Amino acid sequence: MPVMTTTASRLLTGARRRAGLMVRSRIAGDDAAEQRQRIWHSEGDRWNSSGDAIYAVHGDASMFAGGLTALLLQSLHPLAMAGVADHSDYRGDPWGRLHRTSQFIATTTFGTISDATDLIRAINGMHRSVVGVDYRGRPYDARDPLLLRWVHVAEIWSFLECHRLYGRAPMSPGRQDEYVRQASRTGIMLGARGVPTTVGELAAALEEYRPELEASPAALDARHFLLDEPPVGWTAGPAYAMLREGAVAALPPWARGSLGLSDGPFGSRDAALLLGRAGVSALRWVLDAVEG
């Protein structure tokens, strides 16, 4: 019996590690190990340290739900979404877009100041060509400080809300303010104006934008792609379904309504929150096996 138990434990440990490596590769790309080595272990000064609130949020598995929540929420600004629809190949290369986003967040959070500033400078350069008009003929420019502020506000609100709902450990109000303040640096360096530095300012900024928000055709198309036909195989389908429910449940009620989304399975937000917690916990369990 002890031999069988030991064998089963070894098999489970191996399966857990393989699953963790597969998830990490999906998020960060085939060179995930090399990226991790460069971001975490390159010599040089860093903006943040392991005790900071931004480490706790951006290093937690709740970011899997938070990223999806952020994409859905960001899509409600018609000008921001027009820029994504016109200039991003998110349908043709969704994993490549995810890899680049993951690398940006990891580098600006955990990497050296030199690497982070180089990456921000590159993003600012790419934004110069992201101009056009939305479906109503209104002009947009990715360098618009107020559009950049919206993208930042929606992202940080989503990350923090999903950490509150699904994070490994709760954060005090003071730590939440610390997170918003630490995250503001990147938004400012990307050109956003009036970036929130407290939870109260973040909530107020989100409310400020509500008159400008709508479910444009591009937003509804993105919603359909992200929620109804995501680019995941059948093996990852159940886990993604749980994350999807958790991500939608984290949205403000008015955002769910704008996107035509229900409160959850059987109309129950509580059920969706349970699924979200289960999905995030499962991902945390497999990733802990490879990230320690």
pLDDT digits (tens, 9 = 90+) for 8-25: 676 667 666 665 556 565
Q: What local confidence, expressed as pLDDT, does residue 40 receive?
A: 81
Give the chain's domain count: 1
What confidence score (pLDDT) does residue 66 get?
96
Query: pLDDT confidence of 91, banded at 50, 70, 90?
Result: confident
Distance CA 88, CA 97 (A): 8
Alpha-carbon distance of 175 to 184, in angstroms, equals 14
Query: pTM (2 decimals)?
Result: 0.90
Q: Is the pLDDT at 92 greater than 90, yes or no?
A: no
Among 244, 239, 254, 261, smallest CA distance to 65 is for 244
- Domain assignment of residue 255, given as a range: 11-113+154-171+211-291
Residue 60 DSSP one-character state: S
Whether residue 258 is contained in a domain is answered as yes
28-55 in b/e burial notation, b at 16+ Cβ within 10 A? bbeebeebbebbeeeeeebbbeeebbbb
Residue 179, in any domain of the structure = no
- Residue 72 within a domain: yes
Query: What is residue 125's predicted lDDT score, i.e. its pLDDT?
Result: 97
Average pLDDT value for residue range 142-167: 98
- Segment 180-209 shows an average pLDDT of 98
235-279 tens-digit pLDDT = 667 888 999 999 999 999 999 999 999 887 777 899 999 999 999
User: For residue 19, what pLDDT is reported?
Assistant: 58
Residue 125 lies inside a defined structural domain of this protein = no
Q: Does residue 77 form part of some domain?
A: yes
CA atoms within 13 A on the CB side of 83: 20
In a domain, 183, yes or no: no
- Can you tell me whether residue 137 is helix, strand or coil? coil
Specify if 259 maps to a domain. yes
- The answer as to whether 162 is a domain residue is yes
Q: What was the pLDDT predicted at 28?
A: 61
Residue 163 pLDDT: 98
- The CA distance from 91 to 49, in Å, is 35
Question: Tell me, what's the pLDDT at 51?
Answer: 95
Structure tokens at 125: 């350069």
